[in-house]
A and B are shown apart, each in its own frame.
Chain A
Amino acid sequence: MTDIVQELVERTYEFGFHSDIDTELAPRGLNEDVVRLISAKKDEPEWLLEWRLAAYRHWTTLEPPAWQNVHHPPIDFQDMHYWAAPKPKGPAPASLDEVDPEIRATFDKLGISLAEQERLSGVAVDAIIDSVSVATTFKATLAEAGVIFCSFSEAVREHPELVRRYLGSVVPPRDNFYAALNSAVFSDGSFCFVPAGVRCPMELSTYFRMNAAETGQFERTLIVAEEGATVSYLEGCTAPMRDENQLHAAVVEIVALDDSDVKYSTVQNWYPGDENGVGGIFNFVTKRGRCGHRAKISWTQVETGSAITWKYPSVILQGDDSVGEFYSVAVTTGRQQADTGTKMIHIGKNSRSTIVSKGISAGRAQQTYRGLVKVLRSATGARNHTQCDSLLIGSECGAHTFPYIEVKNDSAQVEHEASTSKISDDQLFYCRQRGLGEEDATSMIVNGFCREVFDELPMEYAVEAHALMRLSLEGAVG
């Protein structure tokens, strides 16, 4: 096992290439002028500028949160660029074929060639490189169904009334330090609107990727499912290798009106830093959804990347009979730190939630599950089941489980189960007796451990998640 741990610690980041696209940078630092610059660059309406400025002013009164179980040097928010956009070489591309070949190559390396995606998988991809959406496919098919899926900037231009109605309605700009920051400086992101009664005809997918050095990435994603609508949304993230830490502070809001069903899946594979803990992404994300009556929001995440991850995809179960789900696999190796989990806030009657969290910690990584299940007095008949398991690989890592359970209604049933252990020597021996090498055996057992969560992923992602897990544990497993 010691060899394994050694190799695990030494695993290298496969996606660490860096595309050479000219970037346009805002001056370093953050002040009202930078906020105005971002807004002006994007030709935004006055109300949005005011919204940003209000968020900015509030942000200046806040201190960065310190309660997470992660350690990093203080972040100098004045020493970062808040805007970076790829400069188009010549006029904007009229079709996918005209997209900058460098950008296309970047996607190819990520294994998500747009053309491929378009032709083979039928997935609509809204690709984002450093904040600006460069290509959106499948618009036509989606438009036919009445689904709007576009970059956030485009949504601001084309559907300002929708954006204005829902922006900040689930994660208010004052929600927390990073949400306020994001609200002030968000660059781009995705917008998705599925009208009443519509089942979105395809999986919607966005790949985020950070590129320029020292640029924080602040996407804003807003998903609105009207009454009875159904949509499945995928988000994949990778970032190139960098020595400096890059900050990523995204906000995702989901509005699930009555009887709607929203599934949000993430595979996050940002650069985790090197074996000495140099570089890597700080991933401080606010994700939250609100359910109407009988609505359902399901978060599935596979988190293998980032130097530090800090995120709690949450569901406010406001409607009666609403359903919230959180399925998570988090892998930390090397010197990664992750503090992740969820909040399920039960307000509606008979609201139900399920939490399945699988954490794998290896090398010298520290991982924390932090979760809140809160049943308010109004939530008669609420149910929650939480299963929270951690697997340790190597003796220098840590796994921590910090749940909070608050029940204010006697008819609620809340159950929580958790376990922490290392990979069992007996299981490893059993697999090896059947001819599997230690690497394969470990990988097989770990994948089995995560099965419940992988089963929640859409097909394309399940395969990717398996591969990613293998990659993450490479060495652990050989």
Chain B
Amino acid sequence: MTVAADDVMTEEAVHARTWLCEHGLPTGREEDWRYTPVTEVRRHLDALPEAPPRQREVTRDDIDRLAGQHGPVRIVHVDGVHVPALSTDALPTGLWFGTTHNLSARVRLQLTTPAGDPPDGFEALNRSASQDVLYLLVADDADLREPVHVVHVSTGASVSHPRLVVDVGVGGRIHLVESHVSLDGGGFTNASTTVRLSARSHADVHRVQEQATDAVHVGRLELHHDAGAHASVTALSRGGAISRLTTVALLREPEASCTVTALLAPGIGARHDDAVTVDHLASRCTSDLTVRSVVPERARVTSSGHAIVRPDTVATVAHQRTDSLVLHPTGQADSRPWLEIFADDVRANHGSATGRLDDDALFYLRSRGIPRAEARDVLVGAFARTLVERIDPPSLRDQIAGWFGPEGTA
């Protein structure tokens, strides 16, 4: 390969920028964005400056406090720029790490596959504006069970475009914990993560969004599956005045599978929009989507699931389940569980339920002397628990359980 890394990047960035000039950012009239307050998002974006590299000093303690400590390997990205001083030096065998600025020949090979058109304006913006892309490569058959923790920090009122690309080799395995946190409020994060799964590989991705309550977060998680690859995604979203997460799994080859679990717990008055698309492009692929949202006062949560089964595929299984718990009369929950099916050898279903806490259960707890507020917390914790219990590593499980009060894991 003679293509220089910078040229490749430039090519992708240039292409994205050209595309962006032509198509612009979403307006909210697009079906995919109808539930996102796009106008507000764009207002924030226009009002804020692009983040200067390492706008503020961030310490190790800050990271521990904001994102927790979830594994031996930690890689820190501050305002979209890699900070070696805060990151682990030693990597386990089978894991390779690099950034835009120190790409090795091995990575170049992976990157010369030209990226197609960006799927939407935010992704185009991320591709064209991200300054320091993080690359994680997992060697063939490498079995990395210990979590790799990637932390993206937004330091304050500026725009950053963190970008992470993970490539898992044939039969390889990675456990990734990706945290998005804020040091100070008011930031705008436009994040993008791509995980490429080679044949028979396995990725366990926990994506935690715990930014400031006045932050705006737009994120995209894209998974590309080769034959027999499996991804297990857990998206945990709490922060942000506005948060939009798009998850797209492309099951491109036979026997690929994915499970996507999302737990949405926005703060008071926040808007969270979670959109998951699973595209079954080959035969014998399976997917399972579970979303639970807890909707407090004046918050609005939208959960969209879209399963697509392409023509000429066989033996597809696609499940979706969405449950929304509305905690206050001013909370709103929308769901849009879609099935788009072009083949007959399919078992697909979706279920969705929206409601408030069960009055009988609440009464039962209160009749046992538990005060109303606490009883509520217990029940909300119970609603979230089925999902929380599956979180791994335990340190992260405890952290998320903490969202639902001390009873969260009771």
Contacts and interface: CB of A to CB of B under 8 A. Distances in A.
B335 A397 contact: no
Contacts of A408: 332
A5 B343 CA distance: 14
B348 A419 contact: yes
A399 interface: yes
Interface in A56-85: 67
B351 A407 contact: no
A421 B348 contact: yes
A396 B311 contact: yes
B328 to A, nearest CB: 6
Contacts of A407: 324, 326, 332-334, 354
Given A408-B332, A410-B327, A403 B348 contact: no
B329 interface: yes
A412 interface: yes
A407 B333 CA distance: 5
A403 B335 CA distance: 8
Contacts of A67: 31
Given A390-B341, A399-B341, A406 B332 contact: yes
A404 interface: yes
B340 interface: yes
Contact of A420 (B328, B335, B339, B351): B339
B354 A394 contact: no
Contacts of A417: 349-351
A410 B329 contact: yes
A407 B340 CA distance: 23
Given A414-B353, A414-B355, A415-B353, A404 B348 contact: no
B352 interface: yes
A266 B348 CA distance: 29
A191 to B, nearest CB: 38
B331 A410 contact: yes
A393 B344 contact: yes
B168 to A, nearest CB: 31
A400 B329 contact: no
Contacts of B341: 390, 392, 398-400, 420
A400 B348 CA distance: 11
Nearest to A374: B334
Interface in B328-380: 328-356
A41 B402 CA distance: 74
A404 B333 CA distance: 11
B359 to A, nearest CB: 10
A54 interface: no
A418 B339 contact: yes
A400 B355 contact: no
A401 interface: yes
Contact of A419 (B31, B312, B334, B349): B349
Contact of A405 (B328, B345, B352): B352
B354 A395 contact: no
A401 B346 contact: no
Contacts of B350: 401, 416-418
A412 B354 contact: yes
Given A395-B312, A400-B339, A415 B332 contact: no
Interface string A413-433: 111111111100000000000
Nearest to A69: B340
Contacts of B328: 410
A416 B337 contact: yes
Specify which of B312, B328, B347, B352 lies most central, judged by the most chain A CB atoms within 10 Å of its CB.
Answer: B352
A409 interface: yes
B348 A420 contact: yes
A404 B338 CA distance: 9
Contacts, number: 111
Given A411-B329, A415-B352, A403 B347 contact: no
B352 A420 contact: no
A402 interface: yes
Contacts of A409: 329
B35 to A, nearest CB: 9
A362 to B, nearest CB: 9
Interface string B185-207: 00000000000000000000000
A381 to B, nearest CB: 11
Nearest to B355: A413
Contacts of A390: 339, 341
Given A408-B332, A410-B331, A398 B342 contact: yes
A198 B324 CA distance: 43
A67 B29 CA distance: 11
B356 A411 contact: yes
Interface string A374-399: 00010000000000001011111111
Contacts of B311: 395-396, 398
A401 B338 CA distance: 5
Contacts of B332: 406-408
A413 B353 CA distance: 7
A409 B295 CA distance: 11
Nearest to B336: A404
Contacts of A412: 354-355
Contact of B346 (A393, A413, A420): A420
B75 to A, nearest CB: 39
Contact of B336 (A377, A399, A405): A405
Contacts of A397: 344
Contacts of B336: 402-405
Nearest to A375: B354
Contact of A394 (B330, B344, B356): B344
A413 B349 contact: no
Contacts of A377: 329
A394 B311 CA distance: 11
Specify which of B31, B327, B347 lies most central, judged by the most chain A CB atoms within 10 Å of its CB.
Answer: B347
Contact of B335 (A393, A401, A411, A416): A416
B331 A404 contact: no
A319 B334 CA distance: 23
Nearest to B320: A418
A405 B347 contact: no
A401 B329 CA distance: 29
A410 B333 CA distance: 9
Contact of A392 (B331, B344, B351): B344
B354 A414 contact: yes
Contacts of A419: 347-349
B254 to A, nearest CB: 16
Given A395-B344, A401-B338, A416 B349 contact: no
Nearest to A385: B353
B403 to A, nearest CB: 20
Interface string A232-272: 00000000000000000000000000000000000000000
B260 to A, nearest CB: 18
Specify which of B311, B331, B345, B346 lies most central, judged by the most chain A CB atoms within 10 Å of its CB.
Answer: B346
B327 to A, nearest CB: 7
A413 B354 contact: yes
A427 B337 CA distance: 28
Contacts of B344: 392-395, 397, 422
Given A393-B344, A395-B344, A414-B353, A405 B335 contact: yes
Contacts of B345: 395, 422
Contacts of B324: 407
A414 B328 CA distance: 16
A395 to B, nearest CB: 5
Given A400-B339, A406-B334, 5 more contacts: A392-B344, A403-B335, A404-B334, A405-B352, A415-B352
Q: Which 10 pairs of residues, A with B, have the shortest CB-CB distance?
A: A392-B344, A410-B326, A419-B349, A422-B344, A416-B352, A401-B339, A420-B348, A414-B354, A410-B356, A413-B355
6 contacts: A390-B339, A394-B344, A398-B342, A401-B340, A407-B333, A410-B356
Interface of B: 31, 295, 311-312, 324, 326-356
Interface of A: 67, 377, 390, 392-422
